[in-house]
Amino acid sequence: MDFNKTRYIPMSRRRRIYEGKAKVLYEGPEPGTLIQHFKDDATAFNAKKHQVIEGKGVLNNRISEYIFQHLNDIGVPTHFIRRLNMREQLIREVEIVPLEVVVRNVAAGSLSQRLGIEEGTQLPRSIIEFYYKNDQLNDPMVSEEHITAFGWATPQEIDDIMALAIRVNDFLSGLFLGIGIRLVDFKMECGRLFENEMVRIIVADEISPDSCRLWDVKSNEKLDKDRFRRDLGGLVEAYTEVAKRLGIMSENERPAGAGPVLVKG
Ligand code: UDP
CATH of the domain at 115: 3.30.470.20
Q: Give CA–CA dist 168/76, Å, rounded.
A: 8
Give 213 Cα–ligand 1 centroid separation in angstroms.
8
Helix/strand/coil for 3: coil
- Are 103 and 228 contained in the same domain? yes
Q: Give ligand 1 pocket residues (Cβ under 6 A).
A: 100, 102, 108-111, 139, 185-187, 211-213, 225
Contact assessment for residue 94 and residue 204, using Cβ atoms and an 8 Å cutoff: yes
Nearest CA to ligand 1 atom 11: 211
Helix/strand/coil for 192: strand
pLDDT confidence of residue 63: 98
Say if residue 113's pLDDT is above 70: yes
Q: What's CA 260's distance to the chain center, in Å?
A: 31
Ligand 1 pocket test: pick from 141, 211, 228 the residue with the most ligand atoms within 8 Å of its Cβ: 211
Provide the domain count of the chain.
2
pLDDT confidence of residue 36: 98
Residue 12 lies in a domain: yes
Nearest CA to ligand 1 atom 5: 187
Q: Cβ–Cβ contacts within 10 Å for residue 99, how many?
A: 23
Give 24 Cα–ligand 1 centroid separation in angstroms.
20
- Are 200 and 113 contained in the same domain? yes
Residue 219 lies in a domain: yes
- Are 37 and 7 contained in the same domain? yes
Nearest CA to ligand 1 atom 23: 109
Atom of ligand 1 nearest to the CA of 229: 24
- Are 154 and 208 contained in the same domain? yes
- Are 65 and 157 contained in the same domain? no
Atom of ligand 1 nearest to the CA of 213: 15
Give the mean pLDDT of 150-171: 98
Give 13 Cα–ligand 1 centroid separation in angstroms.
35
Which class for 96: exposed (0-12), middle (13-18), buried (19 or more C-beta within 10 A)? middle
Ligand 1 pocket test: pick from 102, 212, 225 the residue with the most ligand atoms within 8 Å of its Cβ: 102
Say if residue 265's pLDDT is above 70: no
Helix/strand/coil for 36: strand
User: Residue 110 half-sphere exposure, CB side, CA atoms within 13 Å?
Assistant: 14
Contact assessment for residue 34 and residue 41, using Cβ atoms and an 8 Å cutoff: no
Give 186 Cα–ligand 1 centroid separation in angstroms.
7
Query: Bigger pLDDT: 252 or 229?
Result: 229
Domain range for residue 210? 96-234
Q: Which residues pair with 90 in a beta bridge?
A: 35, 82
Contact assessment for residue 95 and residue 192, using Cβ atoms and an 8 Å cutoff: yes
Q: Give CA–CA dist 158/263, Å, rounded.
A: 54
Mean residue pLDDT across the chain? 93
For strands 198-204 and 181-195, give the pairing.
antiparallel
pLDDT confidence of residue 47: 92
Nearest CA to ligand 1 atom 10: 211
Q: Give CA–CA dist 17/4, Å, rounded.
A: 22
- Are 106 and 230 contained in the same domain? yes
- Are 8 and 52 contained in the same domain? yes
- Are 224 and 101 contained in the same domain? yes
Listed in sequence order, the residues at least 6 apart from 47 whose beta carbon sits closer than 8 Å to its beta carbon are 21, 135
Domain termination site, one of 53, 75, 93: 93
- Are 100 and 227 contained in the same domain? yes
Give the mean pLDDT of 163-191: 98
The answer to whether the pTM exceeds 0.85 is yes
pLDDT confidence of residue 249: 81
- Are 27 and 56 contained in the same domain? yes
Residue 255 lies in a domain: no
Radius of gyration of the chain from its Cα atoms, rounded to whole angstroms = 19
- Are 170 and 73 contained in the same domain? no
Q: Give CA–CA dist 55/86, Å, rounded.
A: 10
Q: Concatenated DSSP letters for 195-260? A: ETTEEEEEEES--STTTEEEEETTT--B-STHHHHTT---HHHHHHHHHHHTTSS-TTPPPTT---
Residue 265 lies in a domain: no
- Are 82 and 146 contained in the same domain? no
Residue 243 lies in a domain: no
Percent of the chain predicted with pLDDT > 70 = 89
Report the helix count and the strand count for the chain, using DSSP H and E: 6, 14
